[in-house]
Amino acid sequence: MAGPGAYAAVWEPGRQNVTRYRLTPRGWPEGRRLRLAILSDLHVGSLHVPLSRVSELVAATNALAPDLTLLLGDFVASRARIASDPSLADLATELARLQARDGVFAVLGNHDWWHDEPTQQLRQGPTQVGLALERVGIPVLENKAVRLDTAGGPLWLAGLGDQIAFLSRGRRPRGIDDLAGTMAQITDDEAPVIMMAHEPDVFARMPDRVTLTLSGHTHGGQVRFLGWAPIVPSRYGNRYAYGHVREAGRDLVVSGGIGTSQLPIRFGIPPEIVLIELG
């Protein structure tokens, strides 16, 4: 077992793939093309993701020449911060080097909330991660939708608040997500809607008005055998664990992410930057 164990703990978590999807979701305008670069679950400060690796990820993402770069949350390690962790200001400064024709946008993940003690005590934001990103000019879409004029024409980009933001003793974590309130900000029936939601579970109740949902959180289960993961942090198990999912004509892409959570291993699901070519 030493061989597979070493592979899962040392080699695979340090890899860096680009996973590509070419999609034409329902409602996408004919002939319009848009390139989306996705970074999720960096977990900076974890064993395999020092700040220097963020620099490498930024360079690799920029080399894809995306129209939009979307950051899907869990920027920090899945534990309480320690003195050796990179500062949030330094992390945000590195991410500010991301370049995309139509902008760089973010949502927050559960660990950005769970390991922010003031937000857990007050049961409200803003989070330290969110403030750091906003200070360097990266908008954080928290239950917010914005209309953009992009290379692929006008579209709505929406970001859902985290669905398990607040820890609760003996009960399921409580979220700050407001799907109805976010959708109410969309004021036309024509421009396609892309929804950023850290956890994919919301896809089960996503309105048909949403053209494409983008999520992370699961790490693809972090250990996968022939496309199946024994443990997935989702009430739906493997249904939304990883990759492109199409249900009832609606599309979801779940990134396997970059870092690790809980156990510092990956097996069968290497870290990835996702590139989605729409149209």
- Does residue 168 surpass a pLDDT of 70? yes
Average pLDDT over residues 94-98: 98
pLDDT band at 7 (very low <50, low <70, confident <90, very high): low
Q: 263-272 pLDDT, tens per residue?
A: 899 999 999 9
Q: 65-91 pLDDT, tens per residue?
A: 999 999 999 999 999 999 899 999 999
Joined together, the tokens standing for residue 99 give 């370049």
Question: Is the separation of the CB atoms in 68 and 103 below 8 Å?
Answer: yes
What pTM was computed for the model? Answer: 0.95
Contacts of 182 (CB under 8 A, 6+ apart): 143, 144, 145, 158, 159, 160, 195
pLDDT at 1: 47
Q: CATH number of 15-278: 3.40.50.1100, 3.60.21.10, 3.20.20.140, 2.60.120.620?
A: 3.60.21.10
Question: Residue 275: which H helix or E strand, with range?
Answer: strand 272-278
**What is the spatial distance between Cα 161 and Cα 227, in angstroms, rounded to a whole number?**
29
Domain boundaries, the chain: 15-278
The larger pLDDT score, comparing residue 218 to residue 83, is at: 218
* pLDDT, mean over the chain: 94
Lowest model confidence (mean pLDDT) among 9-13, 121-125, 215-219: 9-13
| Phi, psi (degrees; rounded to nearest 5) at 268 | 80, 10
Q: Where are the alpha helices (DSSP H) in 44-189?
A: 51-62, 88-95, 110-114, 117-122, 128-135, 179-183
**What is the spatial distance between Cα 14 and Cα 10, in angstroms, rounded to a whole number?**
7
pLDDT at 10: 60
DSSP state string for 205-251: G--TT-SEEEE-SSGGGSB-BTTB-S--SSTTGGGGSSEEEEETTEE
